[in-house]
Structure 1
């Protein structure tokens, strides 16, 4: 799933390449993907793109006052081309959920929203204001917003009895962080994923705050300027523990471990994060020891 760094780079790429381009055609190839009906998606046609921005893990394209907002979910992605095809998409066929065609000073452009697999979560909205999208209206503070300081984080954590891994992933608490970067942040902060949020003392909160900005900041720099086709590999290349089960931790050399759940998994380093303790894997144990 693309998270804050990749979505930010994607929005920047689209703003650069689509600004001034006119939407000539919109095709929706999946009934499930379109979450709004008013205004109709056809209302985008004939409008010029004035910009694109990231809101949490959403991307919003501004087209003369209307906004095409999309969330790529777990298996969604973007395919951008300057040699688009005129082929009409067939409803419910293939992995392309939506297609936008543009005319620009440089020539025709195309943007496909794609989704692999059978579990579909990609969502598209056409709205007058991005805040009309429920997921955006419910977003918590962005880690890079001016008001997000260590005191804000301390207040958030101090009021939560949840495990810190879940807090970091909750978009209504902190916007933009998902499964992968929460693993990386907790590793950098030397914090157990199962630590209770309100149990962290001030030093631990400061470590976590610093890790949020160092991990996401580094990833932002890695992703900046890359085309959509390169962003997934850029994300994978600098991960230290996420998706590295069985590999040596690059900090201490211990073996990276995994805890699996029904539809996801987390990775951590016992030496760096849990004082050497191996966390119970819920595939084989119902209880954490």
Structure 2
């Protein structure tokens, strides 16, 4: 799933390639991905892209002049298997709905044939596309907590968010209404860098632990953004995977201490961690069966 660093890289790439260009046609290929119907996606046609923005893990294109002077936003959530592809030469024929991964195509007026495809692999279709006059009209955007890379996000801000949280810190980090943009992979990376158990209750973190968590949130996400900056879109997924130290590396040695990285599996996800670095050498049990082994 694309998280904050990958979506930020997508934002930068699309801003470079789309801003100042006119939307010629929009083809909604997978109607199931459309979550709004008024205005329709066709209302974007004729508008000039004047901004590409990121809201947590949401990506937004603003088309000035579409449906009047106020403009419209095309807001996307790529979910688990969605992606954005840049094309230098799109087919002349309009795409047809089918079983392929293409969900939406945006064709630019100039240069001729250029545009963007929004795709989704797999059978679980969770990609979401909205056309709105204000990004806050998208329910997921309206619920977002602060962006951890924003200038105004401080250690005190994090401490306030964690105070009273009786949930495990792993779940709190993934909660988009608490912090915007962190998902399963980077929460594993952040907790490993902070030397913190994913099962630790957020409200029980000491001042020192909150300070350490705040520091590694910034460095982990910031370094991932820098690694991704300027890469072609086709390379971003590989860059994310290569930069991860524990997530998705079950059975491999921890790059810090050499212990074997372990995994806890859930119904639709898994967390990865190092026992020596994070849990005092104790393995975590599957939460479906028991709690942390004593």
Q: Could you tell me whether the CA contact under 8 Å between 1:280 and 1:288 is conserved in 2?
A: yes
SS of alignment partner, residue 231 of structure 1: helix
- Identify the match of residue 171 of structure 1 among 169, 172, 176: 176
- Identify the match of residue 67 of structure 1 among 67, 73, 76: 73
Measure the CA separation in 2 of the matches of 1:135 and 1:281.
29
Measure the CA separation in 2 of the matches of 1:22 and 1:85.
18
RMSD: 1.1
Q: CA deviation at 1:238?
A: 1.1
Q: Could you tell me whether the CA contact under 8 Å between 2:75 and 2:131 is conserved in 1?
A: yes
Q: Could you tell me whether the CA contact under 8 Å between 1:96 and 1:115 is conserved in 2?
A: yes
- Identify the match of residue 149 of structure 1 among 142, 154, 168: 154
Q: CA deviation at 1:286?
A: 4.2
Alignment partner, residue 41 of structure 1? 41
Q: Could you tell me whether the CA contact under 8 Å between 2:149 and 2:222 is conserved in 1?
A: no
Q: CA deviation at 1:145?
A: 1.6
**Structure-to-structure mapping, 1:116-131, within 5 angstroms:** 116-131=121-136
SS of alignment partner, residue 283 of structure 2: coil
Q: Which runs of 4+ in 1 moved over 4 A?
A: none
Measure the CA separation in 1 of the matches of 2:267 and 2:136.
32
Alignment partner, residue 23 of structure 1? 23
Q: Could you tell me whether the CA contact under 8 Å between 2:86 and 2:117 is conserved in 1?
A: yes
Alignment partner, residue 250 of structure 1? 255
- Identify the match of residue 224 of structure 1 among 229, 242, 257: 229
- Structure 2: where are the runs of 5+ without partners? 65-70
Q: Are 1:274 and 2:262 an aligned pair?
A: no
Give the alignment's TM-score, normalised by structure 1.
0.97
SS of alignment partner, residue 216 of structure 2: helix
- Structure 1: where are the runs of 5+ without partners? none
